[in-house]
């Protein structure tokens, strides 16, 4: 059983929603990222999505674009990220790690080399933002060969027949983009998203994660009744940007944001326990 599957099973048995946190690797520095990863886990994160910085992140909003720019000024590459994951694994062998990024930095390494190094360093899955399943055949097979899972995105305008097609390639979980827009956008329509999630949940056999535009505990809570996992990204990266010169403050503020979301997600369990 994969780390991701184990994690979802465990959370399910505890009746908890999976909390996925996104940060860009190397923002503001690689060593800060290692601290932040441990902080995220301590404050209720169940899966870490580690962004691979790219010079032209066309699906990301300004917050994550700037995170990429901060990482790239230091020339952060896949090799640094593999080392980072290795270091993280010294203290944490349980939390699944998903690398999320764009195809070009992977393609230039070669799919085989990338996949093998990723798995060897302790990565569990890959999400390539600009790789729809039509272009993904070879890559998904290579990932599979190296025991990496392939996370795919579905969007509000992805029709049900296409979702079924995507499921043939997807493993780990399915990531529902909750709005038509880039990461960190503001215009999330919660009731429409809930309806979509209910609809999609009926027809898939993988855990369903929802992300893009979820910034606070209340939104996370409402969506969690119809999703297996909630993804928080730009809200965390925003903290990193504001406190980029102060490692302690970054970790404190992230801790308090993520604790509040975790608490809200678990509130029924806690009040239930009191009875």
Q: Which residues bind other proteins (CB under 8 A)?
A: 54-59, 61-62, 65, 69, 72, 75, 77-78, 102-109, 129-132, 134-135, 152-159, 162, 177, 180-182, 185, 187
> Which residues are known to be catalytic?
49, 60
In angstroms, what is the minimal distance from the CB of 226 to other proteins? 19
In angstroms, what is the minimal distance from the CB of 196 to other proteins? 13
Longest dimension (CA), the chain: 57
Q: State which residue, 130 or 252, has the beta carbon closest to other proteins.
A: 130
Q: State which residue, 137 or 272, has the beta carbon closest to other proteins.
A: 137
In angstroms, what is the minimal distance from the CB of 107 to other proteins? 6
Q: State which residue, 168 or 274, has the beta carbon closest to other proteins.
A: 168
Q: State which residue, 163 or 254, has the beta carbon closest to other proteins.
A: 163
- Residue from 161, 150, 160 nearest 128 by CA: 150
In angstroms, what is the minimal distance from the CB of 244 to other proteins? 17
Q: Which residues contact 151 (CB under 8 A, 6 or more apart)?
A: 98, 100, 125, 126, 127, 170, 171, 172, 173, 174, 175
């Amino acid at each position: 059983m994969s780390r991701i599957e184990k994690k979802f099973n465990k959370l399910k048995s505890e009746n908890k929603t999976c909390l996925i946190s996104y940060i860009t690797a190397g923002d503001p520095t690689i060593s800060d990222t290692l601290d932040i990863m441990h902080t995220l886990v301590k404050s209720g994160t169940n899966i870490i999505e580690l962004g691979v910085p790219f010079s032209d992140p066309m699906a990301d909003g300004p917050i994550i674009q700037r995170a990429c720019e901060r990482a790239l000024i230091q020339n952060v590459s896949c090799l640094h990220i593999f080392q980072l994951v290795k270091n993280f694994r010294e203290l944490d062998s349980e939390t699944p790690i998903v690398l999320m990024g764009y195809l070009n930095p992977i393609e230039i390494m070669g799919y085989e080399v990338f996949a093998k190094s990723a798995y060897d360093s302790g990565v569990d899955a890959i999400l390539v933002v600009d790789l729809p399943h039509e272009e993904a055949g070879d890559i998904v097979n290579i990932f599979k060969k190296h025991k990496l899972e392939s996370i795919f995105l579905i969007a509000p305008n992805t029709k049900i027949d296409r979702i079924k097609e995507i499921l043939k390639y997807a493993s780990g979980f399915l990531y529902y983009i909750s709005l038509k827009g880039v990461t960190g956008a503001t215009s999330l329509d919660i009731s429409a998203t809930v309806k979509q999630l209910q609809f999609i949940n009926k027809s898939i056999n993988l855990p369903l994660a929802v992300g893009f535009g979820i910034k606070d505990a209340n939104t996370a809570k409402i969506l969690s009744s119809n999703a297996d996992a909630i993804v928080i990204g730009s809200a965390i990266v925003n903290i990193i940007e504001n406190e980029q010169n102060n490692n302690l403050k970054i970790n404190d503020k992230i801790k308090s944001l993520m604790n509040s979301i975790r608490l809200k997600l678990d509130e029924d369990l806690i009040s239930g326990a009191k009875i």
